[in-house]
Amino acid sequence: MGNVLQITCDGAIFNRCLDCFLGKVAYIRNLEDNVVALEKDLALLIAKRNDLMTRVVDAERQQMRRLDQVQVWLSSVEAVEAEAGELIRRRSQEIEKLCLGGYCSKNCKSSYKFGTQVAKQLRDVKKLMDGGDFERVAEKIPQPVVDERPTEPTVVGQQSQLEQVWKCLVEGSAGIIGLYGMGGVGKTTLLTHINNKFLQSSTDFDFVIWVVVSKDLQIEKIQESIGEKIGLLNDTWKNRRIEQKALDIFRILKKKKFVLLLDDIWQRVDLVKVGVPLPSPQKSSESKVKVGDPLPSPEKSSESKVVFTTRSEEVCGWMEAHQNFKVACLSHNDAWELFQQKVGEETLNCHPEILELARTVAKECGGLPLALITIGRAMACKKRPEEWKYAIEVLRTSSSQFAGLGNEVYPLLKFSYDNLPNDTIKSCLLYCSLYPEDCLISKENLIDCWIGEGLLNESVKFGVQKEGYHIVGILVRACLLEEVGDDDVKLHDVIRDMALWIACDIEKEKENYLVYAGAGLTEVQDVREWEKVRRLSLMENQIKVILGMPRCPHLLTLFLNNNVKLRISDGFLQYMSSLKVLSLSHNEVLFELPSDISRLVSLELLDLSNSRIRELPEELAALVNLKCLNLEYTFDLAKIPWNLISNFSRLHVLRMFGNAIRSGSFDGDELMVKELLGLKHLEVLSFTLRSSHALKSFLTSHQLRSCTQALLLHCFKDSSLDVSGLADLKQLNRLRIADCPELVELKIDYKGEAQQFCFQSLRVVVIDLCIGLKDLTFLVFASNLKSIEVRSCFAMEDIISVGKFADFPEVMANLNPFAKLQYLQLAGLPNLKSIYWKPLPFSHLKEMSVFNCDKLKKLPLDSNTAKECKLVICGEPDWWKELRWEDKPTQDAFLPCFKSF
């Protein structure tokens, strides 16, 4: 018999094995039901997912960010959908494998695996269905510290200024920084690059906030721009009062380090009213603000910054800026480089003539980036020289017709014109366009013309000329005029073209200008076009004669000056009954005035300066409305009829500095002084005196002392002249002493306090042909001197003599001479040994010119002076070699400054 194998099995183990077997069988037995349930639940899950996505998309359209937990759930649903969908697609082939009523499978392993997958996906779907009920699906997107702003590349030539402002912003102590300049110069571009520079910088500012202010200043809009950046802006907050929003802004910003960039300011923005803590170099403790408190006080923030752009330097003062940067026009080279970029190499190189013509066109833009870009783009497709030549003519004669200027550039610049305080100041600006391109306009001359035209208010108690200087200041600070030194201004070429566009096109009926200034004219072909003109400028041409008798019933201003050979014929002025301003200056052939000048009964300004006029005719007495008479440097003028000057009872300005009147029909200068005393409205006087008696008589008049701005002491016969009486002439800015061969000493009382001999306004001194004069020590008290010229004074040994102060050491100790001196010219002083007895700082000195001063072996310069001033020293090489220096370092420091004659 065979052996029998008996296996004994524990009941618990058997049961577990049975459960396992039955469980696996269940995956097969329930497969079809599970697939149906999975399909149904998956559809419900997808519907729930779609509803949630609708909420998410709506939130994201409102610039919100979906929550991370929402994204995790959506990603899980996406994964389950893909896996479950694949199982549902395979169900047919897997169900076909089932047999025995679904309790078994033809391929148990495959059906079991599929069944487990379906069961797992069913559990996952049910689990996801239990989630996904989100109260919030998204949140506001956190604002970045700085928003990048689109911009063109930095304008050529302004990269260095960008770096300068940036350094001030991140390293300097200034809390409020102003960028000012004329329209179109690139201020907004510069500010945009400053904004974007924060993207690459490692500065730790919490907010960089950009706000466009513009002319229509609205506090609410500024607050909303700030509120949006710092997370306050919503419909509820927008409806709060300005004061409430200011408190909210203040609570946040006082705890943060921020940069506020304000673009295009035209008036003061009250930062406190906006709610912005005022940046300051000084630190201060934070103040707590409670609900219901009044507007916050000017809280200081030592780390935050405010940077703004404006067209007006005056606004920088209103904003209490700690540091200002003027954004200037480009240099010639930088302007040319920018212009080339906009035109393109293909056009510039397509014809040999175009490159040079392009330089001429670029020059017409005056370095203004907006004009360079606009004109450069317009010329990019012009590939024939004739087109470029035509463009040059258009730019010079009728620039508003040039593509882009009349509808892009000039309207932008006109905003500055429109923002001027009143119509008077606007007319004063337009008046400047009567002068040629690139012309230095004398402030004195310009204001005289404004007075003559009646643009200024004669009733002002402080003086009509002071009002004129006030208006010049307004135009300079508005960046519509450029100041050149103390005495001159300049109108930028593009601003001038804009002004002519306004005067000739926009306000033609009111202004009606006709301007040929500096146009190179040799003749005037047709005077009939003058008939409706109100202001006509033919200055700085080569016109020799004007034919005909023009009928100009509306003409107010006529500039014929600087036509050096122009002859004025009788009858020329006959039909100009409304003429108020007539300028005939700088005319070498004007020996006499035409007789019909007496018809100009409305004339208020007559300028004959620098002409060859020999006498003033008695017919001039008809000009009873004359307010300004300029006879300066009329060296041939020998006769003025008795009582003619006093007949001009409305005179405000009389200029007679440097004329050669010897006696004429009246007996000497003292009689002329008596005539002046009758001019009750006189507020500006430049005069020539020829004797100490006349000077004494002159100085006894308070009125003459108070209005004298320039004085020439000529041909004095005295050996000694006391200049103490000139010391307190408060308006005296020019003094010349000339052709006084017997004069040995200019006396002044050194015993008194130095302050009483201040010559406060004196800026220019010329001493000429005073061959016996030994020193000019009185100048030590003229603390505001800017220019000194001393010529042909053969006996002069010292400019400032130390010996004069030997008995007054206390005076010597307080001296600080030449502190503001810019120019010093010494010529023909063979005995001059000293300018000053010790070195001086000369912090403003620009040029020292020394010629034929062989005994001057030492200059008042040392190594400390070299640190203070940037100086050009002009002289003869032999004189320079013989100079003695304080030490070798001083000599080395000034060696590069020398320029040989």
Chain segment 633-664, per-residue pLDDT in tens:
999 998 899 899 999 999 999 999 988 665 44
Q: Domain tally for the chain?
A: 5
Chain segment 179-212, per-residue pLDDT in tens:
999 999 999 999 999 999 998 877 788 999 999 9
Q: Is residue 617 one of the residues assigned to a domain?
A: no
Q: How many CB atoms lie within 10 A of CB 90?
A: 14
* Domain match, 745 and 890 both: yes
| Residue range 596-604: mean pLDDT, rounded | 94
Which segment of 84-93, 625-634, 779-788 scores lowest on mean pLDDT?
A: 84-93
Tokens of 535: 């202001």
Q: Is residue 287 one of the residues assigned to a domain?
A: yes
- pLDDT greater at residue 42 or residue 732: 732
In the predicted structure, residue 293 carries a pLDDT above the cut 50: no
* Domain match, 412 and 306 both: no
Tokens of 168: 């001030």
How many Å apart are CA 813 and CA 33, to the nearest integer?
Answer: 115
**Which one of 326, 347, 370 terminates a domain?**
326
CA 324 from centre of chain:
10
Tokens of 612: 């060859």
Tokens of 29: 């037995």
**Hey, which of 131-135, 259-263, 462-466 has the most confident mean pLDDT?**
259-263
Q: Is residue 586 one of the residues assigned to a domain?
A: no
* Domain match, 741 and 820 both: yes
Q: How many CB atoms lie within 10 A of CB 289?
A: 19
Q: Is residue 485 one of the residues assigned to a domain?
A: yes
* Domain match, 117 and 180 both: no
In the predicted structure, residue 98 carries a pLDDT above the cut 90: no
* Domain match, 477 and 443 both: yes
Chain segment 33-60, per-residue pLDDT in tens:
677 777 788 888 889 889 889 998 988 8
In the predicted structure, residue 322 carries a pLDDT above the cut 80: yes
What confidence category does residue 810 fall into, taking pLDDT thresholds of 50, 70 and 90?
A: low
**Hey, which of 108-122, 280-294, 524-538, 860-874 has the most confident mean pLDDT?**
524-538
- pLDDT greater at residue 817 or residue 793: 793
Residue in the structure block whose two tokens are 């003559």: 452
Q: Please, are residues 364 and 394 in contact by the beta-carbon 8 Å criterion? A: no
**CATH label of the domain that carries residue 247:** 3.40.50.300
What are the φ and ψ backbone dihedral angles of 272, each rounded to 5 degrees?
Answer: -65, -40
* Domain match, 735 and 882 both: yes
Chain segment 221-240, per-residue pLDDT in tens:
999 999 999 988 888 898 89
Q: Is residue 49 one of the residues assigned to a domain?
A: yes
**Hey, which of 76-90, 147-161, 191-205 has the most confident mean pLDDT?**
191-205
* pLDDT at residue number 758: 80
Q: Please, are residues 628 and 651 in contact by the beta-carbon 8 Å criterion? A: yes
Tokens of 650: 């409305």
What confidence category does residue 143 fall into, taking pLDDT thresholds of 50, 70 and 90?
A: confident
| Residue range 356-371: mean pLDDT, rounded | 93
How many Å apart are CA 780 and CA 812, to the nearest integer?
Answer: 10
Q: Is residue 581 one of the residues assigned to a domain?
A: no
How many Å apart are CA 802 and CA 860, to the nearest integer?
Answer: 13
Residue in the structure block whose two tokens are 């300068």: 164
Buried b (16+ CB within 10 A) or exposed e, 646-676: ebbebbbbbbbbbbebeebebeebbbbbebb
Biggest CA-to-CA distance, the chain: 178
Tokens of 52: 């949630």
How many Å apart are CA 734 and CA 763, to the nearest integer?
Answer: 6
* Domain match, 188 and 226 both: yes
> What is the DSSP-derived secondary structure letter of residue 85?
H
How many Å apart are CA 652 and CA 362, to the nearest integer?
Answer: 43
Q: Please, are residues 132 and 43 in contact by the beta-carbon 8 Å criterion? A: no
| Residue range 378-386: mean pLDDT, rounded | 94
What confidence category does residue 17 fall into, taking pLDDT thresholds of 50, 70 and 90?
A: very low
* Domain match, 244 and 392 both: no
How many Å apart are CA 295 and CA 710, to the nearest integer?
Answer: 54
* Domain match, 82 and 219 both: no
In the predicted structure, residue 14 carries a pLDDT above the cut 50: no
Q: Considering the entire predicted model, what is its pTM?
A: 0.81
Q: How many CB atoms lie within 10 A of CB 596?
A: 18
How many Å apart are CA 250 and CA 256, to the nearest integer?
Answer: 10
Which segment of 43-57, 112-126, 603-617, 849-863 scores lowest on mean pLDDT?
A: 112-126
* pLDDT at residue number 94: 59
| Residue range 780-786: mean pLDDT, rounded | 91
Q: How far is CA 197 from CA 208, 656, 854, in A?
A: 11, 59, 58
What confidence category does residue 70 fall into, taking pLDDT thresholds of 50, 70 and 90?
A: confident
| Residue range 66-89: mean pLDDT, rounded | 83
| Residue range 142-153: mean pLDDT, rounded | 83
**Which one of 295, 311, 326 terminates a domain?**
326
* Domain match, 245 and 384 both: no
How many Å apart are CA 859 and CA 834, to the nearest integer?
Answer: 7
* pLDDT at residue number 110: 58
Q: Please, are residues 605 and 449 in contact by the beta-carbon 8 Å criterion? A: yes
Q: How many CB atoms lie within 10 A of CB 752?
A: 13
In the predicted structure, residue 354 carries a pLDDT above the cut 60: yes
* Domain match, 837 and 859 both: yes
* pLDDT at residue number 680: 92
Q: Is residue 614 one of the residues assigned to a domain?
A: no
**Selection from 23, 27, 24 nearest residue 122 by Cα:** 27
| Residue range 148-164: mean pLDDT, rounded | 85
| Residue range 229-252: mean pLDDT, rounded | 91
| Residue range 890-900: mean pLDDT, rounded | 92
Instruction: Indicate the pairing of strand 628-630 with strand 605-607.
Output: parallel
Which residues neighbour 728 within 8 Å (Cβ) at sequence distance 6 or greater?
705, 756, 758
- pLDDT greater at residue 54 or residue 6: 54
Residue in the structure block whose two tokens are 């208006």: 471
**Hey, which of 22-26, 93-97, 691-695, 769-773 has the most confident mean pLDDT?**
769-773
In the predicted structure, residue 316 carries a pLDDT above the cut 80: yes
- Over the chain, what is the mean pLDDT? 86
**CATH label of the domain that carries residue 113:** 1.20.140
Q: How many CB atoms lie within 10 A of CB 588?
A: 12
* Domain match, 897 and 751 both: yes
CA 878 from centre of chain:
45
**CATH label of the domain that carries residue 840:** 3.80.10.10
**DSSP letter string, 337-352:** HHHHHHH-HHHHTSST
* pLDDT at residue number 60: 83
> What is the DSSP-derived secondary structure letter of residue 642?
T
Amino acid identity, position 143 = Q
> What is the DSSP-derived secondary structure letter of residue 646?
H
| Residue range 695-710: mean pLDDT, rounded | 93
What confidence category does residue 843 fall into, taking pLDDT thresholds of 50, 70 and 90?
A: confident
Q: Is residue 284 one of the residues assigned to a domain?
A: yes
* pLDDT at residue number 2: 46
Q: How far is CA 444 from CA 39, 321, 499, 729, 765, in A?
A: 96, 31, 21, 19, 18
* pLDDT at residue number 894: 92
Which domain does 842 fall in, by range? 715-901
In the beta sheet, which residues pair with residue 720?
745
* pLDDT at residue number 757: 52
**Selection from 565, 575, 518 nearest residue 545 by Cα:** 565
**Which one of 75, 106, 140 terminates a domain?**
140
* pLDDT at residue number 30: 60
| Residue range 692-710: mean pLDDT, rounded | 92
